[in-house]
Amino acid sequence: MTETLKLALAQLNPHVGQIAANLAGIRRARALAARLGADLVVTPELSISGYPPEDLVRKPAFVAACADAMSALAAETADGGPGIIVGAPWAEGDKLYNAAFVLDGGRILARRFKHELPNYGVFDEKRVFDAGPAPGPVPFRGFRLGLMICEDWWFPAVSETLAESGAEFLLSTNGSPFEVNKQQEQRIPLAVRRVVETGLAFVFCAQVCGQDELVFEGASFVLNPDRSLAVQMPFFDEAVTLTEWRRDGERLVCVPQPLAPEPGRMEQIYRAMMLGLADYVRKNGFPGVILGLSGGIDSALSAAVATDALGADRVRAFMLPSPYTSQTSLDDAADCARLLGISCDTVPISPAMGAFESALAPVFEGRRADITEENIQSRARGLILMAISNKFGSMVLTTGNKSEMSVGYATLYGDMCGGYSVLKDVYKTTVFELSRWRNTHRPPGALGPEGPVMPERVITKPPTAELKPNQTDQDTLPPYEVLDAILSGLVEGEQSVDALVAAGHDRATVLRVWRMLDRAEYKRRQAPPGVKITPRAFGRDRRYPITNGFTGLIA
């Protein structure tokens, strides 16, 4: 009986729908694993198609192309090198499965279908896939692999079935989206439960990529039967790690190795924003990004993330001053650009404001100026940025944060214009924390500079949209520390007004915030995509009707 198994975990960055590129990445990982002496290479969930493929799997031609790629890989394993586990959609009759394949010796050795289909939060797999039967172990070169696919290990049934039918360890291929602190607060504790229930070691092999609003941070790991962490792969980086397994009676034990460090909360959020933006720009073919640099903290942080993710030569900033823009804001924006090393041009919006004022004067005759004129300024800026984007091909990076988007403190077709937002799921109080953190830390893999990336004054001065004289955000909104605490309760916690009042918040303030949140749904539906950071991001996580007469939250 073979006593040692060398298993390579390939933490890859697939491109949804780009089958040829995904195939090339899998081949590179297998070649590296072969040089390391691996017997078997494990790749993440749906590694051939990319994850999540959504309605792409409804196209028969796409499913067939994935099957052809998988068959080509199977044939290549006749070279005497390591076997490989890959994922692809698989059609059988009128059924379509999320499948994992074990390829070895030039053939498909086994296939397993995902049994538990997630249908909550960002997931709707029941819409496109059929559930497979509970899997049994896969024989591989004298070992019995407890192969399962992502959601299968979040519930005990599949793990217990594998253990009862003779699996020697549990092996899960994954497409598990990032949420801050998810590794320590959810994945590791749940994996410990599976280990305790079955007495078997557990392997978590994950992808690392940005896919639209989702980020996958990798962080693949191995828990031994004694619940100790034997392997921890890097966060936010592609990697191939060789693990060695030895028999201990009827189970396998992984030889421990040095663990990759787990980033702190601020680094996790920042690197998730970097990865989400970098992959969105790269995979969609944009040459770079442009953004409005106002001298405020949101645009400063967005510019820093963009520079760290893409490099200074692919980030172009514009100051778009109005008659209400202070010299302090102009100086701070210029200093941000200088610290980051990005280009920054100035395009005054006063001529556009005058043109709109003249065009609308007959219609607005007899009415005093109000928020309409403020919104015209924001829309003029959006128009200018979109024109520059059209001319040069770079994507407009939107700079609004979650606090603003929650309560509608943003101008539709104005500061909401753009193709992507790194701050979409980041509350304003966290924007301040991230800015302080970045001024003293340069994250791993960052292409931006060492040292501060924005003046201290950008962090300390009162936030303002500068759409009228002496304006601050707190003219319209509660203090951000109050606003964000209430929003977290309403959005992430789905708490009632009464519950938030019982927690110490002023009832009138809670009601005011709730009404703003409820009324802004139409704006959020038209907002650009952005990086998911929290457990309840706007969009796929939180889907409320725009036309909504329910007021039961007040009770």
CATH of the domain at 323: 3.40.50.620
**Are 317 and 333 within 8 A, CB to CB?**
yes
User: What pLDDT is stored for residue 304 in this prediction?
Assistant: 98
> Would you say 554 and 441 are in contact if contact means Cβ atoms under 8 Å apart?
no
Sort 145 into a burial class: Cβ within 10 Å, 0-12 / 13-18 / 19+: buried
Identify the active-site residue in 114, 402, 523, 532. 114
Query: Of 429, 456, 473, which one is at a domain's C-terminal end?
Result: 473
Residues 47 and 137 in one domain: yes
Of all helices (H) and strands (E), which one includes residue 9?
strand 4-11
Are residues 285 and 189 part of one domain? no
Q: Report how far apart, in Å, the C-alpha atoms of 502 and of each of 57, 90, 480, 554 are.
A: 47, 52, 20, 13
The reported pLDDT for the residue numbered 301 is: 98
Among candidate residues 66, 125, 150, 168, the one labeled active-site is 150
Give me the domain span that covers residue 248. 4-254
Q: Evaluate whether residue 539 is within a structural domain.
A: no
Regions of the chain with pLDDT less than 70? 1, 465-468, 471, 473, 475, 552-555
Same-domain check for residues 104 and 243: yes
The domain total for the chain is: 2
48 shares a domain with 27 = yes
Backbone angles phi, psi at 80, to 5 degrees: 85, 0
* Strand, helix or coil for residue 506: coil
- 166 and 309 in a single domain? The answer is no
| Predicted confidence (pLDDT) per residue in 135-168, tens digit | 999 999 999 999 999 999 999 999 999 999 999 9
Structure tokens at 365: 């005759």
Q: In terms of C-beta density within 10 A (0-12 exposed, 13-18 middle, 19 or more buried), how is residue 301 classed?
A: buried
* Range 487-490 contact pairs with CB under 8 angstroms and sequence separation of 24 or more: 487/402, 487/403, 487/406, 487/407, 487/427, 487/513, 487/517, 488/427, 490/514, 490/517
| Whole-Å CA distances, 488 to 58, 181, 220, 427, 500 | 36, 16, 29, 9, 10
Q: Is 499 exposed, middle or buried (0-12, 13-18, 19+ CB in 10 A)?
A: middle
One-letter amino acid identity for 500? L
Longest dimension (CA), the chain: 92
Task: Give 326's contacts (C-beta < 8 A, 6+ positions apart).
Answer: 295, 466
Q: Is residue 193 part of a domain?
A: yes
Nearest CA-CA partner of 531 in 360, 311, 305, 198: 305
The Cα–Cα gap between 446 and 275 comes to 10
What letter represents residue 56's amino acid? L
| Inside any domain, residue 132 | yes
How many Cβ atoms from other residues are within 10 Å of residue 282's Cβ? Answer: 14
Do 235 and 275 fall within a single domain? no
Is 549 a domain residue? no
Q: Are residues 294 and 240 in the same domain?
A: no
**Quick check: is 414 in a domain?**
yes
Query: Does 343 share its domain with 456?
Result: yes
Q: Is residue 550 part of a domain?
A: no
Q: What is the mean pLDDT of the chain?
A: 94
Spatial distance between the Cα atoms of 457 and 338, rounded to a whole number of angstroms: 15
Asked if 142 and 164 sit in the same domain, the reply is yes
Q: Find out whether 532 and 206 touch, Cβ atoms under 8 Å.
A: no
203 and 279: one domain? no
Is residue 227 in some structural domain?
Answer: yes
If we measure between CA atoms, which residue out of 488, 495, 541, 551 comes closest to residue 518?
Answer: 551
The angle at the Cα of 315, spanning 444 to 271, to the nearest 5 degrees, equals 25
- The Cα–Cα gap between 173 and 86 comes to 9
515: in domain = no
Q: Which of 292, 311, 323 is nearest to 386 (CA)?
A: 292
Catalytic annotation present for 114: yes
**Domain final residue, candidates 420, 451, 473:** 473
- What lies within 8 Å, CB to CB, of 349 at 6+ separation is 320, 321, 322, 377, 380, 381, 384
Q: Which of 215, 234, 254 is the last residue of a domain?
A: 254
Q: How far apart are CA 194 and CA 172, in angstroms?
A: 12
How many Å apart are CA 272 and CA 443, to the nearest integer?
11
SS3 label, residue 477: coil
Q: How far apart are CA 212 and CA 478, in angstroms?
A: 32
Determine the Cα–Cα distance for residues 221 and 230; give it in Å rounded to an integer: 8
Residue 240: give its domain's CATH number.
3.60.110.10
Say if CB 393 and CB 419 are below 8 A apart. no
| Rg of the chain, C-alpha, whole Å | 26
Q: Tell me: do 58 and 117 sit in the same domain.
A: yes
Q: Are residues 351 and 248 in the same domain?
A: no
**What span, in angstroms and rounded, lies between the C-alpha atoms of 9 and 467?**
53
Q: Look up 45 and say whether it is catalytic.
A: yes
